[in-house]
Structure 1
Amino acid sequence: MTQSALIEFLSSTFDGFHVHVDSERERADIVLDRPPFNIIAMTQRDALRQVFEALDAHDDVRVIVLRSEGEHFSSGGDIKGFLEASPEHVSKLAWNVAAPARCEKPVIVANRGYTFGVGFELSLACDFRIASETTRYALPEQNLGQIPGSGGSARLQKIIGITRTKHMVMRAKRISGATALDWGIATECVADVELENATQALVDELRGFSPLAQRTAKKLINDNEDAPLSVAIEMEGHCYSRLRSSADFREGVEAFHGKRKAVFHGE
């Protein structure tokens, strides 16, 4: 898809969310806006995947932010939609929700209020989770006689371990943003009024690094999550070696010795 086609697609009207690209700040926002609880419809999941992929290919975007309008991030999915969806559609849910993890660019999610079900699963697929003190994370599917179906329990177990995952999944327990920070789920936990400031600060921080080094680090860390230590170290060495020949690395070294701020171009 050409850049003009990407821009036209991203300016479309989407069901349950909208997209805003700020080229000057190199930031793109995907904003859930189905008040009051930002319920995520079945068809919306596929549209969200397409938008993440489009923003990943957008030349003016360095960092993607997923956030919401209103006091809640999302209370979860459209329950009735699960009964109406075809088995083929349901089989694609985890792939759609994993779109933030597949993006080469950094993805930040800003959570506040209810962050339940697929809202939590989408958040877990992002690279950085900034939680407001009002945030309540939960995977409540046991209340419906079901389990998380889009990677929720699997991703959560990687982060917090089997005991705490059973507490949240098998008992459908909610935890606060502060607890999520303590458990390693959230990157930061801030006052609700500071959520946007904290998000923009992280965007600006990430923009200061080499896009090439950022892409390499994200893929390396994701790919090595299940790798044996020896394999992970080997892959890290290969990536390190490849980056040594990049223009960004040369710029970084020259800026360090010249006592100036590096200007990276992703090459």
Structure 2
Amino acid sequence: MTDDPRLTNLDGFRVEIDPARERADVILNRPPMNVISMPQRDEIRKVFEALDEDPRVRVIVLRAEGEHFSSGGYIKGFLDASPEHVSKLAWNIAAPARCAKPVIAANRGYTFGVGFEISLACDFRIVSETCRYALPEQKLGQIPGSGGSARLQKIVGITRTKDIVMRSKRIPGRQALDWGIATECVADADLEKAVDALVDELRAFSPIAQRTAKKLLNDTEDSTLAIAIELEGHCYSRLRQSDDFREGVEAFHEKRQPKFIGS
């Protein structure tokens, strides 16, 4: 996996893998605002697909260099791209959600447009108090095009989503936490430490149980309660046969930490 071409020569970002910590970092690095280009969007999709297949990686962190996560997309690129190409942008930016492994977004400073949208596609959003979330497309005579308004409405409801989208409103980190957009809000100096702690916490759980929980929750987001309960039951039954569940039960009774192997 080290030589996977999907992880090298990337446009405006890089990937770092720490096998000892079972962690991969996808790091936006186009100073000063980490603008996300059109080609970069498809590269991000391929990177998440590669990391999903990499046995060294348990948890993926999406973060950025500098004081801003991303001011958004490369604006002129939208006029240069074909309508067909633009219509597929949400698929690329949804890569963190499709990835079976837990994905953490670490957001500070401007997290606008596609920067916000790809963070919404992650499982956890750890924000610093400097974070400002926004979908400013109305100022360009456009609407969010990479899943932003749709994902946001699922999280905060139609009233708050209209307030954010139709007014291009900026949401500070603390407010994002209060509204349920952010998982945790910390002082800016503590952002990396909070992300590190969450990575280590997630690594302690069973990989197969985590993958199952993520897929179940994603798949049942739009389902009826009855269907969600039915699918939960099937997933529970399948995990009942896993090595990790047996290990978890035995460790519980033996009053020791479980050693999960992901099967």
Q: Same-fold call, TM > 0.5?
A: yes
Unaligned 5+ residue runs, structure 2?
none
Q: Say whether residues 1:169 and 2:128 are aligned partners.
A: no
Aligned to 2:194: 198
Number of aligned residue pairs: give it. Answer: 263
| Secondary structure of the corresponding residue to residue 30 of structure 1 | strand
Unaligned 5+ residue runs, structure 1?
none
- What displacement does 1:9 show? 3.8
Aligned to 1:110: 106
Q: Aligned partners of 2:2, 2:189: CA distance in 1, in Å?
A: 36
| Secondary structure of the corresponding residue to residue 77 of structure 1 | coil
State the TM-score, normalizing by the size of structure 2.
0.99
Q: Aligned partners of 1:146, 1:4: CA distance in 2, in Å?
A: 40
Q: Aligned partners of 1:95, 1:176: CA distance in 2, in Å?
A: 27
Q: Aligned partners of 2:174, 2:81: CA distance in 1, in Å?
A: 36
Q: How does 1:198-237 map to 2 (within 5 A)?
A: 198-237=194-233
- What displacement does 1:68 show? 0.1
Aligned to 1:243: 239
Partner AA of 1:180 in structure 2: A
Contact 2:90 2:147 survives alignment (8 Å): yes
Aligned to 1:259: 255
- What displacement does 1:87 show? 1.7
Q: Say whether residues 1:88 and 2:84 are aligned partners.
A: yes
Partner AA of 2:261 in structure 1: H
- What displacement does 1:88 show? 2.2
| Secondary structure of the corresponding residue to residue 105 of structure 2 | strand
Q: Aligned partners of 1:265, 1:88: CA distance in 2, in Å?
A: 43
| Secondary structure of the corresponding residue to residue 121 of structure 1 | helix
CA displacement 1:106-163 (0-9 Å, x = unmatched): 0000000000000000000000000000000000000000000010000000000000
Aligned to 2:53: 57
Q: Aligned partners of 2:255, 2:231: CA distance in 1, in Å?
A: 31
Aligned to 1:124: 120
Q: 1:57 to 1:18 in 2, by over 3 A?
A: same
| Secondary structure of the corresponding residue to residue 101 of structure 2 | coil
State the TM-score, normalizing by the size of structure 1.
0.97
Q: Say whether residues 1:21 and 2:13 are aligned partners.
A: no
Q: Aligned partners of 1:59, 1:9: CA distance in 2, in Å?
A: 15
- What displacement does 1:70 show? 0.2
Partner AA of 1:66 in structure 2: L
Partner AA of 2:183 in structure 1: T
Q: Say whether residues 1:180 and 2:163 are aligned partners.
A: no
Fraction of identical pairs, as percent: 75
Q: Aligned partners of 1:46, 1:4: CA distance in 2, in Å?
A: 20
Aligned to 2:34: 38
RMSD: 0.8
